[in-house]
Amino acid sequence: MTTSLKIAFAQLNPTVGDVPGNLAKARKARAEATAMGADIMLFTELFIVGYPPEDLVLKPALQADARAAVEDLAKETSSGPAVLMGTPWVEDDKLYNALAVLEGGKVRELRYKVDLPNYGVFDEKRVFTPGPMPKPLAFRGVNVGIPICEDIWSPGIVKCIKEAGGEFLLVPNGSPYEATKEEVRFNKIAGQRVAESGLALAYVNQVGGQDELVFDGASFVFNPDRTVALRLPAWEEALVLTEWRREGKQWVCAPGPKADVPAGLEAVYRAMMLGLGDYVNKNRFPGVVIGLSGGIDSALTAAVAVDALGADRVRCVMMPSRYTAKESLEDASEVARLLGVHLDNIPIEETVNAFGGMLQPQFAGRAADTTEENIQSRIRGVILMAISNKFGPMVVTTGNKSEMSVGYATLYGDMCGGYNVLKDIYKMQVFALSRWRNQHQPGKAMGPAGRVMPERVIEKPPSAELRADQKDEDSLPPYAKLDDILECLVENELPVEDIMKRGHDLATIKRVEHLLSIAEYKRRQAPPGVKITRKNFGRDRRYPITNAFRDAP
């Protein structure tokens, strides 16, 4: 009977749909695991096609390519470590989220995911068939339980594995980052399953960005006594060899490296970096272009872009109008200097006047209003898109979640672009992140170690500068109050009565709820952005555009 095993865990960054690239990455990792002396290695959920593949996985051609790749890799397992590979798998005309056991030169066995999540960003019941309750995998005389991701989020499947003789658990995951999720998955889910079953548990999570989702890795191993045997770094790829031994009736993982896992503002910032960086790189953009206004949102966006991509791949453009303050010009210039990025200055006043002249016959007799303000924003959008079209960089928009919630943004203007790193970041958190970044350089950042923006950018009252002496709070409640109401309405779905108990007056709540409701059509046309909170605007929160319901009386 085997009393020890060497297991390699591959915390890697696959690309959805890139089966040849993911296979090459798997081969490289297996070669390294072979050199380490691994007996078996575990890849993450659906690794061979990337996660989540969404409806792409329904294409027969992708299914066939994935199967061929897995079978090709299986042929290489006549020697070296066996492989546990996440893959879609068709059997009896049913599509499963599977883990293929590759050993002895063939696909030896398969295990299927049972509990298919169908909430928030997940739609797995839409595409996959749930598998039967999984029996343990017999490997060299050891019964290894292999629940897949969601299969450990309730006790039933792990209990079934334990009752069928499972001796420890290897769990492949595709678990997206959320600002408060790490504690849940670490203690309340994985830790609880260990406490219930008495089995050691290895939780191996994907890392990388995929559209709006970002995966933080941070894989770990719990021993049966709930001590942490090892922890892999967050936000970066890692391959580690672990050594396991039988102690009495239990299997125990020997102590290994325990990386510090960033939390709070640092974790949010790293999520934004990885999300933007992978979106740009996986979609093969040469870089990004950003409208740098001298305000805090564009300054933070530029800092994240430089940290993720490097200053040479970030181009900034200042587009002043008659309403642009001298301080804004100075602040934009200083942000560009601190970040080391190229800054173009393209005044828009001549173009604004041209539009005014063209539209004067139609607008005669009507006072200036938000129409003229929106024209300025749309002119800036045209300029940024022209630079994008001519030179290739993707336009990154700079609006935050507070603005997107209440529609304080211009369609085809400041909403014009391919990605938005602040889309799920409320304004008060923008301030906090900016202060944090001025004092810290996050891991793997390509930007400067010191300040990334002058303090004045953080301290001055926010303004769109689309009319004289304009301030955001002329049109919106103070951001501290606005953000609290929005979190109540968006993240927590609280009734108006409960929001009032937090000290907010009914009139303000009604106004914010109304703005939130009528801005849905704008959010449907907004670019994707990094998911940070429990409910981002996108697949997490699917509200109708045509909607007459209001909770506030």
Residues facing 97 on adjacent strands: 88
Q: pLDDT-derived band of residue 78, with 50, 70 and 90 as boundaries?
A: very high
Both 167 and 301 in one domain: the answer is no
Domain assignment of residue 547, yes or no: no
Q: How many CA atoms lie within 13 A of 249 on its CB side?
A: 6
Residue at which a domain ends, from 199, 224, 255 = 255
Residue 474 pLDDT exceeds 80: no
CA 174 to centroid of chain Cα atoms: 12
Could you give phi then psi for residue 215, rounded to 5 degrees? -110, 130
Domain that holds residue 197: 4-255
CATH of the domain at 74: 3.60.110.10
Note whether 226 and 161 are same-domain residues: yes
Same domain, 150 and 243: yes
Measured CA distances, 412 to 285, 382, 438, 527 (Å): 21, 8, 32, 11
CA distance 134 to 150: 13
Average pLDDT over residues 149-157: 93
Per-residue pLDDT tens over the stretch 221-269: 999 999 999 999 999 999 999 999 999 889 999 999 999 999 999 999 9
Q: How far is CA 346 from CA 320, 331, 379, in A?
A: 7, 16, 11
Q: Do 307 and 177 have their domain in common?
A: no
Please check whether residues 53 and 108 belong to one and the same domain. yes
Rg, Å, the chain Cα set: 26
Residues 154 and 291 in one domain: no
Q: Which two tokens stand for residue 547?
A: 């909607």
In sign, the C-alpha dihedral spanning 191, 192, 198, 199 is: negative
Q: What is the mean pLDDT of residues 328-349?
A: 97
Residues 270 and 247 placed together within one structural domain of the fold: no
Q: How deeply is 452 buried, as exposed, middle or buried, from its count of CB atoms within 10 A (0-12, 13-18, 19+)? A: buried
Q: What is the DSSP letter of 77?
A: G
In order, the DSSP letters of 230-247 are: EEPPBSS-EEEEEEEEEE
**Of 471, 505, 520, at which residue does a domain stop?**
471
Q: Are strands 200-205 and 220-222 parallel, antiparallel or unpaired?
A: antiparallel
Residue 189, in any domain of the structure: yes
Q: Which of 455, 471, 487 is the last residue of a domain?
A: 471
Contact between 1 and 141 under an 8 Å Cβ cutoff? The reply is yes
Same domain, 179 and 97: yes
- Whether residues 307 and 189 share a domain: the answer is no
Co-location of 218 and 282 in the same domain = no
Q: What is the mean pLDDT of the chain?
A: 94
- What is the distance between the terminal CA atoms of the chain, rounded to a whole angstrom? 70
pTM exceeds cut of 0.85: yes
To the nearest 10°, report the CA torsion of 149, 277, 26, 154.
0
Share of the chain above pLDDT 90, in %: 89
Question: Into how many domains does the chain fold?
Answer: 2
Which of helix, strand or coil describes residue 148?
coil
Cα–Cα distances in angstroms (integers) from residue 209 to residues 217, 274, 477, in the given order: 11, 6, 34
User: Is 483 inside any structural domain?
Assistant: no
Beta-carbon neighbour count of residue 432 at 10 Å? 16
Enzyme catalytic residues: 45, 113, 149
Assigned domain for 401 exists? yes
Kindly state whether residue 207 falls inside one of the protein's structural domains.
yes
pLDDT range class, residue 143, cuts 50, 70, 90? very high
- Which of 180-189's residues contact partners 24+ apart within 8 Å by CB, and which partners? 180/534, 182/216, 182/218, 182/261, 182/263, 182/267, 186/220, 189/152, 189/153
180-229 pLDDT tens trace: 888 888 888 999 999 999 999 999 999 999 999 999 999 999 999 999 99
Residue 524 lies in a domain: no
State percent of the chain over pLDDT 70: 99
Is residue 404, in this structure, part of any structural domain at all? yes
3-class DSSP state for residue 171? strand
User: Is 66 in the same domain as 155?
Assistant: yes
For the chain, percent helix, then strand, then coil, each to nearest 5? 40, 20, 40
pLDDT range class, residue 469, cuts 50, 70, 90 = confident
Give yes or no for residue 544 having a pLDDT over 70: yes
pLDDT tens-digit map of 477-495: 999 999 999 999 999 999 9
* Assigned domain for 192 exists: yes
| The residue to which tokens 């078996």 are assigned | 40
Statement: residue 465 has pLDDT above 90: no
- Both 330 and 205 in one domain: the answer is no
What CATH number has the domain bearing residue 437? 3.40.50.620
For 331-382, the three-class secondary structure string (H helix, E strand, C coil) is HHHHHHHHHCCEEEECCCHHHHHHHHHHHHHHHCCCCCCHHHHHHHHHHHHH
DSSP 8-state code for residue 185: I
